Amino acid sequence: MTTDAMIRVQGLEKSYKDLQVLRGVDFDVAPGSIFALLGSNGAGKTTVVQALATLLAVDAGTVTINGFDIATHPQQVRESISLTGQFATVDDMLSGRENLVLIAKLRHLDNPGRVADELLDRFSLTTAGGRRASEYSGGMRRRLDIAMGMVGNPPVVFLDEPTTGLDPQARLSVWETINELARLGTTVLLTTQYLEEAERLADRIAVLHQGRIVVNGTLTELEALLPPAKVEYVEKRPTLEEIFLAIVTDTDETGGDETTSSVPTGTREDR
């Protein structure tokens, strides 16, 4: 355990009647870092996030966020955090800018319009700011959702499976947004089922299994848990995701669909 943790969780326990979901969860998150919490469905990831966000009472354990205990200073904790869940909470009837202005007003901030414009620029949504959120793509909606959570510049952000249901391009866009948050000093706790997401983003990775953190470390430390890699010479074929991204990126750059000419058009039987 470090002495300067932005988030500190010790002995966290939570049960629902006879079902014990958390059995003594411990971890620290350093300031300005990205901490990924991995686990299968039902492992308790969302329960951890809800507890840390003061949305769920726990049975035992202590949690401090930004120096405040969630049990004794819940209001100060809420003022220190932002929570973005698995589904975007934007108002589809409002424009992107209006969504941000609304949150700024609810937080009683000075000059809500200026706050909204700064966030639209920060999250690359300025040109779409006047459009209804219902017209946004999945990636744009998610970026707007995260931007709404950043109104007031909270030092800690919880992202609960933020790329669920997004296409590869949108997922990459959200990854860039998360990296930018950490670069600017925000502490990010990310829950995900996507191992590549944790690999690409996280400074530290913890695995939640059967209600406990069974491993916690950097990617290098986790790799050291397995036998050393063997060198083998194999033919590496591009993944379908790599092919998709190459095609759509080239099409975006040229403004057309020239890339489709290099893709075979025959049926399986033709080939």
**What is the CA angle 239-242-248, rounded to 5?**
140
Residue-wise pLDDT for 73-100, tens only, equals 999 999 999 998 877 789 999 999 999 9
What would the pLDDT profile of 15-28 be if each residue is shown by its tens digit? Answer: 998 899 999 999 99
Domain segments of the chain: what residues? 7-262
pLDDT tens column, 23-64: 999 999 999 999 999 988 888 999 999 999 999 999 999 999
For 165-197, the pLDDT digits (tens) are: 888 888 888 899 899 999 999 999 999 888 889
pLDDT range class, residue 224, cuts 50, 70, 90: confident
Per CATH, the number for 7-262 is 3.40.50.300
- pTM for this predicted structure: 0.80
Give residue for tokens 């299994």.
209
